[in-house]
Chain A
Amino acid sequence: MATIEARALGAAAPATPPRVRAGRLSAGFGPVTAIRDITLDIADRHITAIIGPSGCGKSTFLRALNRMHETVPRAWARGTVLLDEHDIYADDVDAVAVRRLVGMVFQRPTAFPTMSIRQNVAAGLRIAPREERQHEEEAVEHALRRAALWDEVKDRLDDSALALSGGQQQRLCIARALAIEPEILLLDEPTASLDPISTEKVEQLVHTLREQVAVVIVTHNMQQAARVSDTTAFFLSGELVEVAPTRTMFTHPADERTEAYITGRFG
């Protein structure tokens, strides 16, 4: 853990160009506006943390990045989200295709209960367009290795996914998301339902993933943001208050509301 912390705090400003650019993005449900005019760049091979108190819109923002937001009745979104210069909200873009490029892991493990460990990891592969289907056996092993779960499950791939602990299930969900080779991985409070040891494992995993994909992690645990991320964005009441390299954010916040939040005066 110490090494992760040292690295995170020592991280420089992103040198890589942005992979995702949210431009004046607003979203909400019916009459309610959850996020307002968010403009934020997500760098490639880089971990961006989004922090903020409950109800600040950080999950809505995350879900707007892979068009999961719109699966909720009466949800709406305005503005642009550019993925490599393509607006994912353009009329001719298929949300299903977007979600294959932008993977997502949820707060609680969502392993499919009727499937084995192997089938869970392969679930996304089996519904892939024909030309994207890879050799399943290899893809499953590769994804499980990337999710640091291979050694724990290699001898029982055909057991039910529910035989795993909560932390293992969450890493299984990460493996499942990685198996379809997304370009960006969205993590929505991935350790909120886990114990400290499982949390540490998931954090270590997230840290290694930054070498392969762009990661956006929503958390309301500030220590977690400080430990794993390169850049931190602070949301409050549906607005983006401040975004800065994580080290700067936690040592010299520019906005006094950020300072109030990270020093624990509210939230």
Chain B
Amino acid sequence: MVDPLPHTGLAGRAAEVATARPRPRRRVVRLQGHRAADRAYSVLTTAAAAAVPLLLLVIAVVVTMGAWPALRQFGLGFLTSSDWDPVRNVYGVAPAIYGTLVTSFLALLIATPLAVGAAVFLTEYSPEWLRRPAAFLIDLLAAIPSVIFGLWAIFVLVPILREHVMPFLRDTLGLGATPFFSGPAYGPSLLAASLILAVMILPYISAVSREVLAAVPRSQREAALALGATQWEMIRSAVIPFARSGILGGVILGLGRALGETMAVTMVIGNRQEISASLFAPGYTLASAIANQFSEATGDLQLSALMAAGFVLFVVTLIVNAGARWLVWRTGRLAR
């Protein structure tokens, strides 16, 4: 074969291709095929993206519609009343709102220092060989079904609280003088629910904190060390401030989980429709109220009241999350 462009060998290569695949027209056809596939994928992903907010909207609409009769009947009183009486058909969720907020924030208060402390240890102090196994074990906490946490709490945590912790707090430390640790120690209580929630949200806060702490640039650490900082001073003055808004994000993730957690809380909170300042007293949360009563709700208005409790939980979660996001945004802005 005579190659008209010997230095490029193009003609030769073209001839090779022609003998190997003698149907160049197919290429054009396949190009058109790609465009169709592109359009198909675009439609599919758009549909997937649209489905999620749509789902949220449908849930919101259904819950609101279901809640409407109760909301119309009781108005704002639904939020402020402590009555929950299927016999008289009067319903209010004030104790459940109170229980939800108290247990969630107490859980955060207990879990955050532990989780952040564990994350600081694992990223800054731990020997190399311990890091992965210890982090894995903490993460594993998140994989335990919440009903298992509930069972454990009933059989282990609550008896310990009743026999040892509550008497110790109330009598030995003398905290019984304050309204928060007074009254009889039944066991099932706001305190028990808060503790089990703390254990459940700990892995989330810890995992996020670990990631953001590990992501603090080496240059920031070196800058602190070069100023004569000890390791702890470096962590306190350079590492944690840099990771602050990320850690806060992890805390919010935990808060979201705590607000909505149902099973384990229902099993240990005592399920009593009452607002009590004492953490030893049994209480209720919005989620546990729904879980506890839905199967045996008799009247339409009771069902609607439970739907309304769900609606309130929805709104409370939304407000708390919005507030928390604002907090992250603000610290993040200070950090920039």
What is the bound-complex CA distance between A180 and B334, given in angstroms? 26
Given known contacts A96-B228, A160-B336, is B241 in contact with A110 (CB within 8 Å)?
no
Q: Which residues of B contact A97 (CB under 8 A)?
A: 228
Q: Which residues of B contact A100 (CB under 8 A)?
A: 227-228
Stretch at the interface among B72-80, B143-151, B188-196, B230-238: B230-238
What is the bound-complex CA distance between A263 and B300, given in angstroms? 93
Judge whether B224 is part of the interface by a CB distance below 8 angstroms: yes
What is the bound-complex CA distance between A104 and B227, given in angstroms? 8
Q: Which residues of A contact B230 (CB under 8 A)?
A: 96, 127
Judge whether A60 is part of the interface by a CB distance below 8 angstroms: no
Judge whether B225 is part of the interface by a CB distance below 8 angstroms: yes
Given known contacts A114-B242, A160-B334, A160-B336, is B225 in contact with A71 (CB within 8 Å)?
yes
Q: Which residues of B contact A68 (CB under 8 A)?
A: 222, 225-226
Q: Is the CB of A127 within 8 A of B227?
A: yes
Q: Which residues of A contact B222 (CB under 8 A)?
A: 68, 71, 106, 110
Q: Which residues of A contact B238 (CB under 8 A)?
A: 112
| Chain B: CB-nearest residue to A73 | B128
Judge whether A166 is part of the interface by a CB distance below 8 angstroms: no
| Chain B: CB-nearest residue to A179 | B227
**Chain A: how many interface residues by the 8 Å CB criterion?**
28
The minimal Cβ–Cβ distance linking A104 to chain B, given in whole angstroms, is 4
Cβ-Cβ contact count across A and B, 8 Å cutoff: 69
Judge whether B223 is part of the interface by a CB distance below 8 angstroms: yes
Q: Which residues of A contact B220 (CB under 8 A)?
A: 110, 112
Q: Which of A71, A162, A180 contacts B227 (CB 8 A)?
A: A180
Judge whether B219 is part of the interface by a CB distance below 8 angstroms: yes
The minimal Cβ–Cβ distance linking B244 to chain A, given in whole angstroms, is 7
The minimal Cβ–Cβ distance linking B311 to chain A, given in whole angstroms, is 39
Q: Is the CB of B219 within 8 A of A127?
A: no
Given known contacts A110-B219, A113-B336, is B226 in contact with A103 (CB within 8 Å)?
yes
Given known contacts A110-B219, A114-B335, is B226 in contact with A104 (CB within 8 Å)?
yes
- Residue among B230, B237, B241, B242 with most chain A CB within 10 A: B237
Q: Which residues of B contact A124 (CB under 8 A)?
A: 227-229
Q: Which of B224, B228, B244 contacts A180 (CB 8 A)?
A: B228
| Chain B: CB-nearest residue to A124 | B227
Given known contacts A110-B219, A114-B242, is B237 in contact with A66 (CB within 8 Å)?
no
The minimal Cβ–Cβ distance linking A194 to chain B, given in whole angstroms, is 16
A window 101-139: CB within 8 A of B: 103-106, 108, 110, 112-115, 123-124, 126-128
Q: Which residues of B contact A220 (CB under 8 A)?
A: none
Q: Which residues of A contact B242 (CB under 8 A)?
A: 112-114
Q: Which residues of A contact B225 (CB under 8 A)?
A: 68, 71, 99
Given known contacts A99-B228, A127-B237, is B223 in contact with A114 (CB within 8 Å)?
no
Judge whether A35 is part of the interface by a CB distance below 8 angstroms: no
Given known contacts A123-B237, A126-B237, is B229 in contact with A110 (CB within 8 Å)?
no
Q: Which residues of B contact A110 (CB under 8 A)?
A: 219-220, 222-223
- Residue among A108, A123, A173 with most chain B CB within 10 A: A123
Q: Which residues of A contact B219 (CB under 8 A)?
A: 106, 108, 110
Q: Which of A162, A177, A180 contacts B336 (CB 8 A)?
A: A162
State the majority secondary structure of interface residues on A.
Answer: mixed
| Chain B: CB-nearest residue to A66 | B226
- Residue among B220, B228, B237 with most chain A CB within 10 A: B228
What is the bound-complex CA distance between A173 and B335, given in angstroms? 17
| Chain A: CB-nearest residue to B217 | A110
Judge whether A247 is part of the interface by a CB distance below 8 angstroms: no
Judge whether A21 is part of the interface by a CB distance below 8 angstroms: no
Q: Which of B224, B228, B334, B336 contacts A128 (CB 8 A)?
A: B228
What is the bound-complex CA distance between A3 and B230, given in angstroms? 41
What is the bound-complex CA distance between A10 and B223, given in angstroms? 35
The minimal Cβ–Cβ distance linking B125 to chain A, given in whole angstroms, is 14
Judge whether A227 is part of the interface by a CB distance below 8 angstroms: no
Q: Is the CB of A127 within 8 A of B223?
A: no
Judge whether A36 is part of the interface by a CB distance below 8 angstroms: no
B window 289-336: CB within 8 A of A: 334-336
Given known contacts A106-B222, A127-B237, is B244 in contact with A114 (CB within 8 Å)?
yes
Q: Is the CB of B241 within 8 A of A96?
A: no
Q: Is the CB of A99 within 8 A of B334?
A: no
- Residue among A96, A99, A106 with most chain B CB within 10 A: A96
The minimal Cβ–Cβ distance linking A49 to chain B, given in whole angstroms, is 20
| Chain A: CB-nearest residue to B227 | A124
Q: When each residue 213-238 of chain A gets 1 if its CB lies under 8 Å from chain B and 0 otherwise, what string results?
A: 00000000000000000000000000
B window 198-230: CB within 8 A of A: 219-230
B window 119-172: CB within 8 A of A: none
What are some 25 contacts across the A-B interface (CB < 8 A)? Answer: A68-B225, A71-B221, A71-B222, A99-B225, A99-B228, A100-B228, A103-B226, A105-B226, A106-B222, A106-B223, A108-B219, A110-B222, A110-B223, A112-B224, A112-B238, A113-B336, A114-B334, A114-B335, A115-B241, A123-B237, A126-B237, A128-B228, A162-B336, A173-B223, A177-B227
Excluding A97-B228, A99-B225, A110-B220, 19 further A-B contacts by CB distance (< 8 Å) are: A66-B226, A68-B225, A71-B221, A96-B230, A100-B227, A104-B226, A106-B223, A106-B226, A108-B219, A110-B222, A112-B237, A112-B241, A113-B242, A113-B335, A114-B242, A114-B334, A114-B335, A127-B237, A177-B226
